[in-house]
């Protein structure tokens, strides 16, 4: 179980590289989205480990919030072009 936590967190450490270095804005957006989904699965695993059901509520809320944020940024990008 602890090994799974460690592997998941180490995997999540790949994404900030793309947030810092990503050549364009959508790269950063998708990297932040991936980080939030990794934390969704991390909190779910924590809920299983400590038998705390409210951590699953946290993961549902995180999934919805990241969905809304990504969708808003996608609409914003569609209205704006790279030139201005």
84 near other proteins, rule: CB under 8 A: no
Q: How far is the CB of 50 from other proteins (least distance, A)?
A: 10
Residues in contact with other proteins, shown as a per-residue x/- string from 6 to 35 under the rule CB under 8 A = -xx-xxx-xx-xx-----xxxx-xxx-xx-
In sequence order, the 6+-apart residues with CB closer than 8 A to the CB of 56 are 43, 44, 47
Query: What is the Cα–Cα distance from 5 to 19, expressed in whole angstroms?
Result: 22
Q: How far is the CB of 1 from other proteins (least distance, A)?
A: 9
Query: What is the Cα–Cα distance from 64 to 39, expressed in whole angstroms?
Result: 13
Q: How far is the CB of 3 from other proteins (least distance, A)?
A: 9
3-class state of residue 16 by DSSP = helix
46 near other proteins, rule: CB under 8 A: no
């Amino acid at each position: 179980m602890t090994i799974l936590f460690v592997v998941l967190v180490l995997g999540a450490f790949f994404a900030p590289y793309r947030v810092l270095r990503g050549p364009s804005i959508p790269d950063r957006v998708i990297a932040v989205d991936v980080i939030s989904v990794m934390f969704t699965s991390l909190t779910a695993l924590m809920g299983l480990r400590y038998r705390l059901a409210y951590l699953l509520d946290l993961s549902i809320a995180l999934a919805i919030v990241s969905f809304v944020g990504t969708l808003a940024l996608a609409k914003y990008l569609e209205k704006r072009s790279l030139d201005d």
